[in-house]
Amino acid sequence: MLQFAIIAIQIIPSITVIIPAYNAEKYIQTSVQPVINQSLQNKEIIVVNDGSTDSTKSALRKLQITYPNLIVYNLEQNKGPLFVRQYGVQKSRGEYVFQLDADDSLRHQNVLQDLLAYTILKPDILHFQHQAVKYFPNNSTQEISWWGNAQVESANSSNMLSMLVHAKIHWLIHGKLIKRTIFAQAIEQINDIRHLIYGDDEVLCIAVFSIAQSYNGVPYIGYNFNQRQDSVTGQRNQSIQTLLKVIIDYFSTRDLVQKLLPPDLFDIRNRITKDYEVNLTQNEKLFDYHFLSLQNYLIHNNLKL
Ligand SMILES: *[C@@H]1O[C@H](CO)[C@@H](O)[C@H](O)[C@H]1NC(C)=O
Ligand SMILES: *[C@@H]1O[C@H](CO)[C@@H](O)[C@H](O)[C@H]1NC(C)=O
Ligand SMILES: *[C@@H]1O[C@H](CO)[C@@H](O)[C@H](O)[C@H]1NC(C)=O
Ligand SMILES: *[C@@H]1O[C@H](CO)[C@@H](O)[C@H](O)[C@H]1NC(C)=O
Ligand SMILES: *[C@@H]1O[C@H](CO)[C@@H](O)[C@H](O)[C@H]1NC(C)=O
Ligand SMILES: *[C@@H]1O[C@H](CO)[C@@H](O)[C@H](O)[C@H]1NC(C)=O
């Protein structure tokens, strides 16, 4: 009897879009549908439902009826954005990974196709542009100015982390195509802090930028960064010191001192306090404590300040 070997040819998707969703019933369709509708055929869409207590799960099931390729993971418990983004990366197969927030959207149906054209030189990171869109209570919208766009055309391993820290490159994790292999390596390094419930953008960007070798910023606007009054911006029920400690420990223990020097940490501190609109005067002692640990580390390892 003839045996036919069926060889399944695994086609690697060009892009995996990862959408973390927490209590996103209102907007999940307006973020997922435009991804489903993308003209790029060779894509993978992963939604990670982060233990939502509203009807996000059934909204996703409905979307799967019209688009069976939609991959959905329903987590039993709410784990927070850093965990969920990492989870999505671990499940993804695409050459590039792209994080889309559940209340944001792609601007038109050719965005992924267009972005792919920009990856011809295979940069580890391709950063494109956001358009901030303000939603009024009556659902009319207005495009408003936004300060987080790519200002740098290219960067390499010796300068991109510093550009990130010094705000030449914005540290939102969405709006960047990141090679899956790089992203996967980066999340490996921050496995022990995956339960941090905010600061996911900062932590992931620093981890990714400390590993990547090449960066391109392009003037292409593809991402609607939707500003709604009722947006769930995540619980910030963890102290800002926790975030700073995590970041500083990350630098201290991972031999990143050749790429970033301690003064850069003050910039990180200043940017985080600005991003989260917190006043650190009460907490600077704690910051200094960690800063001193880093200094000791440098001295111990004969590294110059
Ligand atoms: C997606 O495509 C469907 C069918 O082609 C169309 O009815 C729908 O309006 C599109 N939605 C979006 C958000 O582009
Ligand atoms: C919606 O609300 C905004 C802000 O209040 C207003 O400027 C706009 O004219 C309203 N649009 C409609 C269609 O009512
Ligand atoms: C605005 O849009 C949301 C989401 O689609 C909808 O739930 C809500 O009823 C709309 N509000 C108005 C005033 O039309
Ligand atoms: C990185 O880019 C800078 C600025 O363009 C350049 O001076 C430097 O030689 C590059 N470094 C590497 C390792 O390619
Ligand atoms: C943070 O969460 C804990 C336990 O859930 C709660 O007791 C505390 O009040 C919360 N703190 C803030 C600032 O929301
Ligand atoms: C932050 O602290 C400074 C110095 O104590 C104070 O002048 C300022 O009003 C504080 N700002 C806020 C937003 O609390």
The residue assigned the tokens 């060889």 is: 7
User: What average pLDDT does range 102-121 have in this prediction?
Assistant: 96
Residues with CB under 6 A from ligand 2: 136, 138, 140
Query: Do 28 and 100 lie in a common domain?
Result: yes
Query: Do 205 and 284 lie in a common domain?
Result: no
Q: How far is the C-alpha of 262 from the C-alpha of 260, rounded, in Å?
A: 7
Q: How far is the C-alpha of 152 from the C-alpha of 238, rounded, in Å?
A: 33
Query: Do 94 and 144 lie in a common domain?
Result: yes
Query: What is the number of the ligand closest to the CA of 214?
Result: 4
Distance 39 CA to ligand 2 centre (A): 33
* Residue of higher predicted confidence among 188 and 183: 183
Domain boundary among 167, 197, 227: 227
The residue assigned the tokens 């941090």 is: 196
Q: How far is the C-alpha of 226 from the C-alpha of 59, rounded, in Å?
A: 20
Asked if residue 205 lies in contact with residue 171, where contact means CB atoms within 8 angstroms, the answer is yes
Query: Do 59 and 113 lie in a common domain?
Result: yes
Query: Do 212 and 275 lie in a common domain?
Result: no
In a domain, residue 235? The reply is no
Which has the minimum average pLDDT: 18-32, 129-143, 193-207, 279-293? 279-293
Distance 136 CA to ligand 3 centre (A): 10
Q: Is the CB of 105 under 6 A from ligand 1?
A: no
In a domain, residue 305? The reply is no
The pLDDT assigned to 112 comes to: 97
Per-residue burial over 84-97, b if 16 or more Cβ lie within 10 Å, else e, is bbbbbbeebebbbb
The pLDDT assigned to 278 comes to: 67
In a domain, residue 5? The reply is no
Query: Do 79 and 182 lie in a common domain?
Result: yes
Q: How far is the C-alpha of 212 from the C-alpha of 188, rounded, in Å?
A: 14
| List of residues 6+ apart from 107 with CB closer than 8 A | 131, 221, 222, 223, 224
Distance 94 CA to ligand 4 centre (A): 29
pTM, two decimals, is 0.84
Q: The domain that contains 50 carries what CATH number? A: 3.90.550.10
In a domain, residue 278? The reply is yes
In a domain, residue 275? The reply is yes
| Cα–Cα nearest to 212, from 253, 251, 154 | 154
In a domain, residue 232? The reply is no
The domain total for the chain is 2
Domain boundary among 180, 206, 227: 227
Asked if residue 188 lies in contact with residue 250, where contact means CB atoms within 8 angstroms, the answer is no
pLDDT one-digit tens code per residue, 127-161 = 999 999 999 989 899 998 876 676 899 999 988 98
Protein residue closest via CA to atom 8 of ligand 2: 140
Query: Do 132 and 269 lie in a common domain?
Result: no
Element (H, E) at 48: strand 43-50
Q: How far is the C-alpha of 159 from the C-alpha of 98, rounded, in Å?
A: 23
User: What average pLDDT does range 167-182 have in this prediction?
Assistant: 92
Query: Do 58 and 190 lie in a common domain?
Result: yes
Protein residue closest via CA to atom 11 of ligand 2: 140
Query: Do 172 and 290 lie in a common domain?
Result: no
Asked if residue 95 lies in contact with residue 179, where contact means CB atoms within 8 angstroms, the answer is yes
Q: Which amino acid is at 234?
A: G
| Cα–Cα nearest to 33, from 96, 108, 93 | 108
Distance 243 CA to ligand 6 centre (A): 20
Query: Do 165 and 285 lie in a common domain?
Result: no
Q: Is the CB of 279 under 6 A from ligand 6?
A: yes
In a domain, residue 270? The reply is yes
Q: How many Cβ atoms sit within 10 Å of the Cβ of residue 280?
A: 17
Asked if residue 183 lies in contact with residue 208, where contact means CB atoms within 8 angstroms, the answer is yes
Query: Do 76 and 22 lie in a common domain?
Result: yes
Domain boundary among 227, 260, 278: 227
In a domain, residue 144? The reply is yes
| Cα–Cα nearest to 204, from 165, 173, 179 | 173
Strand locations in 51-164, DSSP E?
A: 71-75, 96-99, 105-106, 125-135, 141-144, 154-156
The pLDDT assigned to 234 comes to: 44
Distance 34 CA to ligand 2 centre (A): 25
Q: By residue range, what is the domain housing residue 272? A: 240-300
* Residue of higher predicted confidence among 223 and 6: 223
> Counting atoms of ligand 3 from 1, which one is nearest the CA of 135?
1
Query: Do 79 and 221 lie in a common domain?
Result: yes
